[in-house]
Amino acid sequence: MSQQHTNPFDDETSAFYVLINARRQYSLWPEFAAIPAGWQVEFGPEKRASCLAYVEREWQEMRPASLQRSTH
């Protein structure tokens, strides 16, 4: 009998952070994992669905900040 493992990024019951980097890119990150270099907490910890809603509301421009400035 094999056990099925859940990807921690897909676990609806776990707490997550919304991270942001200097290029204003967002990432969902499990609360238990160390925050990677170059990223900081923008929101959370909250349930995955709340974090996804935050990203959808806040991340209106998908291009990195450096590209946003260079095209105006």
The pTM of the full predicted model, rounded to 2 decimals, is: 0.76
Mean pLDDT, to the nearest integer, of 39-56? 97
Residue 72 confidence (pLDDT) above 60:
no
Q: State the pLDDT at residue 6.
A: 76
Nearest-angstrom CA–CA distance, 64 and 67: 6
Kindly report, residue by residue over 3-45, the tens digit of the pLDDT. Answer: 566 788 888 889 999 999 999 999 999 999 999 999 999 999 9
Phi, psi angles (nearest 5°) of residue 23? -90, 5
Q: Which element (helix H / strand E) includes 46?
A: strand 39-47
Mean pLDDT, to the nearest integer, of 55-61? 88
Domain ranges within the chain, ordered by starting residue: 15-63
First to last CA, the chain: 58
Give the CATH number of domain 15-63. Answer: 3.90.820.10
